[in-house]
Chain A
Amino acid sequence: MSDALKAKIADVFDEPGCEKNKGKGAKEKKKGCSKPLTPGAAAGGCAFDGAKIALQPITDVVHLVHGPLACEGNGWDNRHAASSGPTTYRQGFTTDISEMDIVMGSSEKRLYRAIKEIVAKYSPPAIFVYSTCVTALIGDDIDAVCKHATEKYGTPVVPVNAPGFVGSKNLGNKLGGEALLDHVIGTLEPDDVTPFDINILGEYNLSGELWQVLPLFDRLGIRVRACITGDARYRDVASSHRAKVNMMVCSTALINLARKMEERYGIPYFEGSFYGIEDTSTALRTTARMLVERGAPEGLLARTESLIASEEARAWQRIAPFKERLAGKRVLLYTGGVKSWSVVSALQEMGMIVVGTSVRKSTAEDKERIKEIMKGDPHMVESIPPREMYAQLKKGDADILLSGGRTQFVALKAKMPWLDINQERHHAYAGYDGMVELVRQLDLEINSPIWEDVRRPAPWETVRAERTPSAQLPCEASP
């Protein structure tokens, strides 16, 4: 690992914006925030994966992966970060380095030529170059190649130093944020600044969720300068340093970005969520308050309260018809972070019973929130081994599992309802509209007729119990 990357990782692991990090000693900090991996029992993506997740939603740039095939070849176009325009980000670009490149040391040259080809054929506003384990191991200096290419071709070429083996997906998210800080944010000066400008950090517009929320800001006259990085354009991100307020959505992913934008450009930030009715209202209210504190006219506050009142009422009204069909149903929530509590209140409002919520990836504050919402009976669980979860579901300990793709088949093979609430999901669950959609999907899934059908014993399983005398055969069968 280069010294620069080492220093960068040490810097990311020292995060005064994070309560948990502040409580750690110097030695603990060095270890970072992810638990050490156990060979043979590890799950989840690597740092490269994390950096890609954080940056790929920038729709108009080319994301070029410098490494052997698998890093990009096995993973491109695999998420549902939606775009309202350009589709360049959905194409896969990789140097696909060969054995010869490694042996002959020609991989840097290959990278340089790849950049040249991309500029010539696609002329994107920028190219993001991702290092990977192998190219980092053999000592390719992507910073130097990118710098040289930027000068030569006049297209910004941004190095993203997050090879997989430096750590987890979460670390990769942060290293992706660092690349934006070092090479993108603040490189373009906007000429259209208003006192109503905000950025949203850590929102990736999965399944179009950003578009469930943007109309709310539109109604308030608040402009989202840049969503970093959902449905973003390169220029939006490059000029995002002139926003008045940053809202940080996915709490742990880009906290370094939020804090450093505050340090460098004086943009205050807050942490909020668009999952859940109450949380959406809080996010709108906080945005408005902070904008007013920074000089926006006070009328914004009243406008916001009025919008919240009408939108909340509308959401509850749309949710009401489902209440009868969902009341009393038991939910096992197996996710992490903000989602572990942000949907709980909506489920409880339906009269649903949360029989457990996992807190694997949750922070201390997340856990406090859960305790608060679930009134002293939080049923917080750490990770559940798949075999155990299968047994619980098979026994009928819950009526539905809300989780991500990794546990999808645990539920389905136990013939139990399941709803995807992680990043691969196809439905959008953000804002007031998203909660209504979530409730609708819950109803469709829990009350589907297939459950009774697929659990019915096969004919040969019942035959012994009720051995049919020949007289009872259907009459068509008799001669």
Chain B
Amino acid sequence: MARITPSRKACAVNPLKSSTPLGAALAYLGVEGAVPLFHGSQGCTSFALVLSVRHFKEAIPLQTTAMDEAATVLGGADNLEEAIMVLKTRMKPRFIGIASTALVETRGEDFAGELAAIQKRRAQDLEGTTVVFASTPDFRGALEDGWAKATTAILQTVVAAGPRARAAVAAPRINLLPGVHQTPADIHELAEMVWGFGLEPFFLPDVSGSLDGHVPDAYVGTSMGGARLDEIARMSEAVHTIAIGEHMRVAGDALEQRTGVAATVLPTLTGLEATDRLVSLLQTISGRPAGPRLRRERSQLVDAMLDGHFHFAGKRIAVAADPDLLYTLVRFFGAMRADICAAVASTDASPLLGELPCEVVVGDLADLEDAAARSGAELLVTHSHGRQAAERLGIPLFRVGFPIFDRLGVQHRCTVGYRGTRELLYEVANLFMAQMHEHAPGDFADAVPPGPIVEDTRHGRAFEPS
């Protein structure tokens, strides 16, 4: 059992967290024709927007209710209404996802009530646009929480309630609820795995069509793809739901409650054992055995582990991430016999952190840097903001999670399933191999305890037989 140590500092130095509303915005972008809307000051939106653009290298539709001081004190219902109506007129979105911010939540209002009143009053004007609200103040949780809350809000608003009315179809549907750190490439990989069992996957949120980086034929002001609203409504017809990561348990439970579709939470899909669990589940749901492609890929992963484990064994790795991603990474590195010499989580939200075989600090990147320095870490694993720490420590940085703003192609990096795990394993092993150094006498300073040297007989003064 791990010890979870909360940070005692008053000052967060080099924050690890990205904000809760930003997590919500990313989830909303997994719906087709969407515009996320922050209920807060223009700056709340501007910072989140710039960060997302830097990560995805895509235009990100994200708007604001532009609360000024007067509106904050007097109540923001008018700004909320105006923002929704302006968005409706100018961008004609099919979906508006609202996320509250710390600013409006500090004053505290009945946002759901206000939104319901606006929707009733402007029903005609808002026809054809679904509006959803999630309470996501910055001072509660982080990226994973915002993502989960927004997904849950979508489910509760859009999915048809009540017992499932399933049509007899050739390919039974299953729902997949990916976590915030699943990339478009991860979703593609999962879809292919699920198809292999004769099942039809449906993802919510689905960023594989909206944030995968593609060039549409015409201008699109809203999200450029994503889960379709009419398909979301049909999630009640599925035979099963798989929620990925502990943070998506709340969404899986909400869906199960609403529709009766049983939900399974898989904490991670990275690693041989984790993928085996997914494949077993898919075998059970479909009643079919895994096909030749998966069998081959499993064998390739096993081979990669055999070849690669030499490079991981005993390596000291310092990791910082959101709780579910941290769990995934610590489990993956641990399975390869690396030493996790520092583990920092952005929040203590996941109960699984307690199961990790190392101490977990809830803190920031300065905590990571200090612990990495103390323990002589050889690799730093966190998002791009770890770059300064890695430079100061003189060790490489392996970039994971959000934001990754100083590398291209993050949306196409796959780390789930047999294939994704294999790619992750090779990528990190190659990083270690690139660092490998020629041995020198100094490496063995402690090989023999210090003592008097009788005679130096090396190099040219070699022992000569008498």
Query: A interface vs B, CB < 8 Å?
Result: 1, 37-49, 64, 67-78, 87, 90-99, 101-102, 110-118, 133-134, 136-138, 163-168, 386-387, 390-391, 405, 408-410, 413, 415
Is the C-beta of B219 less than 8 angstroms from some C-beta in chain A?
yes
Contact A391 B42 (CB under 8 A): no
Interface-central residue, A1, A41, A163, A168, by most chain B CB under 10 Å: A41
Question: Complex: how many Å from CA A48 to CA B63?
Answer: 18
Tell me whether B4 is interfacial, beta carbon within 8 Å.
Answer: no
> Beyond A70-B47, A92-B385: 17 further Cβ-contacts under 8 Å?
A38-B82, A39-B64, A39-B86, A42-B63, A46-B41, A49-B46, A69-B19, A71-B47, A72-B15, A94-B11, A99-B139, A113-B11, A115-B11, A136-B69, A164-B44, A386-B221, A409-B59
How would residues 240 to 253 of chain B score, 1 for a CB under 8 Å from any chain A CB and 0 otherwise? 00000000000000
Which residues of the partner chain A approach B22 to less than 8 Å between Cβ atoms?
70, 74
Residues of A within 8 A of B41 (CB): 46, 133, 164-165
* CA A75 to CA B138, docked complex, whole Å: 14
Query: Could you write out 27 A-B pairs with CB less than 8 Å apart?
Result: A37-B42, A44-B46, A45-B46, A46-B46, A68-B137, A69-B12, A70-B22, A70-B138, A73-B138, A74-B22, A74-B47, A75-B50, A75-B51, A90-B388, A93-B11, A93-B13, A95-B10, A98-B139, A102-B139, A113-B10, A118-B11, A164-B41, A164-B42, A164-B43, A165-B67, A387-B221, A390-B219
Complex Cα–Cα for A134 and B40 (A): 11
Asked whether, in the complex, the Cβ of B43 is within 8 Å of the Cβ of A46, the reply is yes
Knowing A75-B50, A78-B50, A78-B54, say if A40 contacts B85 (CB, 8 Å): yes
Task: Report the number of A-B residue pairs with Cβ-Cβ less than 8 Å.
Answer: 203
Which size bracket describes the interface of B in this complex?
35 or more
B66-85, CB < 8 A from A: 66-69, 72-73, 79-80, 82-85
State A407–B446 Cα separation when bound (angstroms). 60
Q: Tell me if B120 is interfacial: C-beta within 8 Å of chain A.
A: no
From A45, A76, A110, contact of B14 by CB (8 A):
A76
Chain B 119-155, CB-CB to A under 8 Å as 1, else 0, gives: 0000000000000000001111010000000000000
B72, B73, B86, B388: which contacts A91 (Cβ < 8 A)?
B388
Give me the interface of B with A, judged by CB distance under 8 Å: 9-15, 17-19, 21-22, 37, 40-48, 50-51, 53-54, 58-59, 63-69, 72-73, 79-80, 82-87, 90, 101-103, 106-107, 137-140, 142, 215-216, 219, 221, 366, 385, 388
Contact of B51 among A47, A74, A138, A168 (CB under 8 A): A74
Find out whether the CB atom of B17 lies under 8 angstroms from the CB atom of A40. Answer: no
Contacts of B103 in A (CB 8 A): 133-134, 137, 164-165
A1 to B11, CA, bound (A): 24
Residue of B at shortest CB range from A138? B106
Report the Cα distance A91→B84, complex, angstroms: 37
B17 and A137 contacting across the interface, CB-CB below 8 Å: no
A413 touching B219, Cβ below 8 Å: yes
Expressed in whole angstroms, the minimum distance between the Cβ of B94 and any Cβ of chain A is: 16
Contact A165 B51 (CB under 8 A): no
For A47, the closest partner residue in chain B by CB is B43
Residue of chain A at shortest CB distance from B67 = A165
A134 contacts B66, CB within 8 Å?
A: no
Closest to B54 in A: A78
A-B complex: 9 closest residue pairs judged by Cβ atoms: A46-B43, A40-B86, A114-B11, A40-B83, A113-B10, A39-B83, A70-B19, A409-B59, A164-B43
From residue A455, how far is it (CB to closest CB) to chain B in Å? 11
* Structural contact, B14 and A37, CB atoms closer than 8 A: no
* Contact assessment for A96 and B15 in the assembled complex, using a CB-CB cutoff below 8 Å: yes
Contacts of A73 in B (CB 8 A): 12, 15, 17-19, 138
- Residues of chain A within 8 A (CB-CB) of B84 are 40
Instruction: Check B50 against A99 for contact (C-beta < 8 Å).
Output: no
Q: Is the CB of A41 within 8 A of B385?
A: no
Complex-state Cα separation, A87 to B139, whole angstroms: 28
Contact B137–A99 (Cβ < 8 Å): yes
Closest beta carbon of chain A to B138's beta carbon, Å: 4
Partner of A40, one of B11, B63, B388: B63
Given contacts A1-B69, A40-B83, A137-B107, is CB(A71)–CB(B137) below 8 Å? no
**B389: nearest chain-A partner, CB-CB:** A91
Q: By the criterion CB–CB under 8 Å, are B388 and A93 in contact?
A: no
**Interface centre among A42, A93, A97, by most B CB within 10 Å?**
A42
Cβ-neighbour of B65 out of A1, A40, A137 (below 8 A): A40
